[in-house]
Amino acid sequence: MVRTKSVSTALAALVWVPLGFSQIQNQPDDGQWVMAAKNYASTRYSTLNQINTQNVKNLKLDWTFSTGYTRGHEAAPLVVNNTMYIVTPYPNDLYALDLTKPGAPMKWVYQPHPNPSSQGVACCDVVNRGAAYYKGKIIYNLLDVETVAVDANSGKELWRTKLGDINLGESITMAPIVAKDVVLVGNSGGEFGVRGWLAGLDADNGKVKWRAYATGPDKDVLIGANFKPFYASDRGQDLGVKTWPRGGWEIGGATAWSWISYDPELDLFYYGTSNPGPWNPEQRPGDNKWGSTLFARRPETGEAIWAYQLNPHDLHDYDGVNENILLDLTINGQPRKVLAHPDRNGRMYIMDRSNGEVLSAETFVYVNTSFSVDLKTGELKLNPTKKTGFNTIRDACPAPPGGKDWQPSSFSPRTGLIYLPHNNLCYEMQGTQANYIAGTPFVGMNVRMYAGPGGNRGAFSAWDPVNAKTVWAINETFPVWTGTVVTAGDVVFYGTMDGWFKAVDAHNGTLLWRFKLGSGTIGQPITYKGPDGKQYVAILCGVGGWSGAVVAGGLNTVDGTAALGFANAMTDLGKYTTKGGMLYVFSLP
């Protein structure tokens, strides 16, 4: 049963105008936030500048809103037509808040009531990463593998599409985007031996237009005559079958649970696939395509145009799912349309987004699992002493959540820097036999994570994508598991798992302001212009996710292998934060 409580007046009509990348770079900010990544290029950059390096120290708490839930809150709020929309973790309620009134009272709440059993197949907390606004609809995903569209004015459900089966271990936690009237959605569940896919739905009615699997024969992966990878290692027929042991691709993971970017000018969208299953690589000899791979596809058909496998035969659960920031840069004196992909393997890939050529792939964290990337062949040169399987290894860096995980970066065209929230974790592992039973964990590794060199478990840094190097970095006690937003006021916002929300100078990382939240935060900050013309900054707090499972899930950290090994690295988190579920909104006096 769906319940909608309406206490609102009608929204004004909003005209949806898809912007090309060059337009996104130069378009004056309308003050809204209509998709989780701010724009198709995933820059998470706002041209608002009322709040700047000189006055950010004066930020004050303006209002708050409690979601009523205490699991991990990873979503980015949306702001459209003076209304803020918030998606909660399971049970995935959608709140509409009226920004025209003091304290932003609730206009309505849509309660979809997803299947409660879906909580049992959420590998890394029952999180949700947000929604997208499109032509009068708020579109988002439910944990039980459904996508819904809700009328932005009334909260009425317009359509609801079931896309998978929780009994197989499938779930959905990612934020969709909409390109050319197609809703792009991918599944989660790589730790359960599901078969990964990304689907395109008709934004008008929710009907599935196409589905591109990440494993299996070319016809299932939507690979055809126009598929032209840059590197020879990614060329060949039916590699999604031939690079697996017999039948392995059918339970091979390679899900699409994270970020999607879109270039309207090239008419390509970009996303990465997750780890192949199981984690134990000796049970799946071969490159295991197309796990841990970046894809470029057409939104209307799903047709694959190019692909690049970042981590062939993924040894460390490095995936390929992290964000792809679309930038127009001059590299080695030549203008290039690039994407910046900070991978979990600890390397920042700067790639030509028209064809998949790697231009640089330098490390942004401490890495000892690989030596380099051969730019001519695209090959990731691995350290053989850190090879995993039916063995034991120690001090492999970075650990499975990678140099950074899903927590999204931002880019400022004013500074030319990418701002990276990331981890500093290493691990030890022991390989075990993973046996496939539908809907149950399919991993095959006992893992224990711990702090990397220096003892800090996280950092926030600025990366120069042209010169491929870190410009400055701030060490943090815990992994920095929030997203980040940067503004034309040259201020960067991010949060910490011990509950601080911070503003730093985009040029040099100097701390300018901080506020202690009621719980650790793993959310995505946004900034917007209110109906009063003022600039506001908002973030959801509520510790959890994979990194915060020890608190949100009440885990006993005596077993360091709990939470797929993250528990060992976070035994003291409960001393710094408790559970929460609160929106905080700040403004200048």
Q: Which two tokens stand for residue 417?
A: 């820097």
What pLDDT was estimated at residue 518?
97
- Can you give the residue range of the structural domain that contains 421? 3-587
125 and 567 in contact (C-beta within 8 Å)? no
Query: Among residues of the chain, what percentage have pLDDT more than 90?
Result: 95
- Spatial distance between the Cα atoms of 328 and 339, rounded to a whole number of angstroms: 8
Altogether, the residues listed in the chain come to a count of 589
Backbone angles phi, psi at 508, to 5 degrees: -135, 0
- Spatial distance between the Cα atoms of 48 and 589, rounded to a whole number of angstroms: 17
DSSP state of 218: H
407: CB partners within 8 A, 6+ apart: 421, 422, 480, 481, 482, 483, 484, 522
Q: Which two tokens stand for residue 294?
A: 């970046």
pLDDT at 430 exceeding the cut of 50: yes
The pTM of this model reads 0.95
> pLDDT-derived band of residue 29, with 50, 70 and 90 as boundaries?
confident
In what order do the strands lie in the sheet containing 392-396? 392-396, 425-431, 445-451
pLDDT tens per residue, range 371-408? 999 999 999 999 999 999 999 999 999 999 999 999 99
345: CB partners within 8 A, 6+ apart: 310, 311, 316, 318, 367, 369, 370, 380, 398, 402, 403
180 and 200 in contact (C-beta within 8 Å)? no
Of all helices (H) and strands (E), which one includes residue 26? helix 21-26
Measured in whole angstroms, how far is the alpha carbon of residue 284 from the centre of its chain?
Answer: 26
- Spatial distance between the Cα atoms of 330 and 340, rounded to a whole number of angstroms: 13
DSSP state of 406: S
pLDDT tens per residue, range 99-145? 999 999 999 999 999 999 999 999 999 999 999 999 999 999 999 99
- Spatial distance between the Cα atoms of 512 and 487, rounded to a whole number of angstroms: 14
Q: Which two tokens stand for residue 55?
A: 């006055």
- Spatial distance between the Cα atoms of 156 and 158, rounded to a whole number of angstroms: 6
> pLDDT-derived band of residue 294, with 50, 70 and 90 as boundaries?
very high
Q: Worst-scoring range by mean pLDDT, 18-22, 192-196, 383-387, 535-539?
A: 18-22
| Dihedral, 65, 69, 71, 76 alpha carbons, nearest 10 | -40
CA dihedral for 353, 357, 363, 369, sign (positive or negative): positive
> pLDDT-derived band of residue 28, with 50, 70 and 90 as boundaries?
low
**Residue 168: C-alpha distances to residues 120, 173, 191, 272, 343 (Å):** 11, 16, 11, 22, 28
- The mean pLDDT of 296-301, rounded to a whole number, is 98
Q: Which two tokens stand for residue 331?
A: 């590299």
What pLDDT was estimated at residue 27?
54
pLDDT tens per residue, range 225-255? 999 999 999 999 999 999 999 999 999 999 9
Of all helices (H) and strands (E), which one includes residue 421? strand 417-423
295 three-class SS: strand
CA dihedral for 477, 481, 482, 486, sign (positive or negative): positive
What pLDDT was estimated at residue 20?
41
Amino acid at site 186 = G
| CATH number for the domain harbouring residue 128 | 2.140.10.10
- Spatial distance between the Cα atoms of 322 and 256, rounded to a whole number of angstroms: 10
pLDDT at 158 exceeding the cut of 60: yes
What pLDDT was estimated at residue 21?
47
231 and 219 in contact (C-beta within 8 Å)? no
- DSSP-derived secondary structure for 79-135: EETTEEEEE-STTT-EEEEETTSTT--EEEEEE----GGGGGG-BTBS---B-EEET
Number of other CB atoms surrounding residue 478 within 10 Å: 24
- What is the domain count for the chain? 1
- DSSP-derived secondary structure for 328-395: EEEETTEEEEEEEEE-TTSEEEEEETTT--EEEEEESS---SEEEE-TTT--EEE-GGG--SSSEEEE
- Spatial distance between the Cα atoms of 45 and 121, rounded to a whole number of angstroms: 34
297 and 268 in contact (C-beta within 8 Å)? yes
What pLDDT was estimated at residue 9?
29
Q: Which two tokens stand for residue 120?
A: 């049992």
| Catalytic positions | 191, 275, 317
pLDDT tens per residue, range 479-523? 999 999 999 999 999 999 999 999 999 999 999 999 999 999 999
pLDDT at 11 exceeding the cut of 80: no
What pLDDT was estimated at residue 468?
98
436: CB partners within 8 A, 6+ apart: 193, 251, 278, 442
**Cα–Cα nearest to 466, from 356, 317, 334, 374:** 334
